[in-house]
Structure 1
Amino acid sequence: MIRGPIPVHHQFVFPHGAFLSGEVTPVLDFDASTKDRPVQQRDKTTGEPVWSVAVTNVSPDVRAADKTVSVKIVAAVAPEMPPVPPAMASLGLPFVPVEFVDLTVTPYVNSANNRMAYSFRARGFRPLAVARTQEASRG
């Protein structure tokens, strides 16, 4: 029986590439936070802080409404300091092409519309070479 997050390869979820399209931000723990004191969520298994980033999936098979997803990053970094993406300007692109490390997916039923949805989580991300990204988007 499968329980918990399911490990998946980056190319399975993002066959034509994944592009960071937002800043890496802390995920708030709504149960522990108060109005005056926000508390960052911690991973239940590792205790490490949890971050979130908007990601654009450029696969032509993905519906327009599903092009942007959120990926949670569990990262052992200094407190109050998010994982840092590669510089966008140095790549000459408006978005940062990345590959997620130790990506998992957790399917669930979205109670708002009773449809299957997916939650993505990774241990981190690494930059992709521009040539490799361009090659993937053509293929």
Structure 2
Amino acid sequence: MAIAGRLPVDSVDVFPHGLYAFVATEVEPARDFERSTSDRFVQQVDKDTGLAVWTFEVLDADPQARDKAITVRIVSEHKPVLPEAPAGMPFRPVEFEGLTVAPYVDTSRCSGGPGAHRCRARLAWSFRATGIVAPKPRSAGRSRESKDAAA
């Protein structure tokens, strides 16, 4: 079986402990490194949809997560609007709509390049979404199995 392209996933299934963003964090336009110059910023455009690409950094609340900070690319015609933060809190809980993932081999920790003897390449995930929303209320203890049984 061949899987082509990105895999659609549910934000809650991938991040069951929740995602949080600093209140001061903003959605930023993604830089198109091939078309931008040192003098001129060009925003990246999604090759499949032609829509603008934005970036947003969140924190994974999973205590076992290897990487706490995760950057998600958001494909949207307009700059996504973040949900309101709870009063007095330094973080805002978020979820992503239209979340997809794509695996890749991360060789950034390789000394001497990907073919080096001491390479610590690892499987990593690229995240892309179509929007950012406030988390939906969920009943306590509701597992993936009970959601599947209800469907």
SS where residue 19 of structure 1 aligns?
strand
1:45 is aligned to 48
Runs of 4+ residues deviating >6 angstroms: none
1:3 aligns with 2:10: no
Identity %: 46
Identify unmatched segments of 5+ residues in structure 1.
none
- Look up the equivalent residue of 1:41 and give its one-letter code: Q
1:98 aligns with 2:94: yes
What does residue range 1-139 of structure 1 map to in structure 2 within 5 Å? 1-21=2-22, 22-63=25-66, 66-77=67-78, 82-88=79-85, 90-113=86-109, 114-128=121-135, 132=137
**Aligned-pair distance for 1:94?**
1.0
Check conservation: 2:52, 2:77, Cα contact below 8 A: yes
SS where residue 12 of structure 1 aligns?
helix
- Look up the equivalent residue of 1:96 and give its one-letter code: R
TM-score where L is the length of structure 1:
0.82
**Aligned-pair distance for 1:7?**
0.7
**Aligned-pair distance for 1:31?**
0.5
2:146 is aligned to none
- The higher relative CO (CA closer than 8 Å, separation ≥ 6) is in 1
- Look up the equivalent residue of 1:121 and give its one-letter code: R
- Look up the equivalent residue of 2:102 and give its one-letter code: T
Question: How many residues are treated as equivalent by the alignment?
Answer: 126
- Look up the equivalent residue of 2:80 and give its one-letter code: P
TM-score where L is the length of structure 2:
0.76
Cα RMSD over matched residues? 1.8
Check conservation: 2:52, 2:75, Cα contact below 8 A: yes
Check conservation: 2:81, 2:132, Cα contact below 8 A: no
From the CA coordinates, give the structure whose radius of gyration is larger: 2
More helix by share: 1
**Aligned-pair distance for 1:51?**
0.5
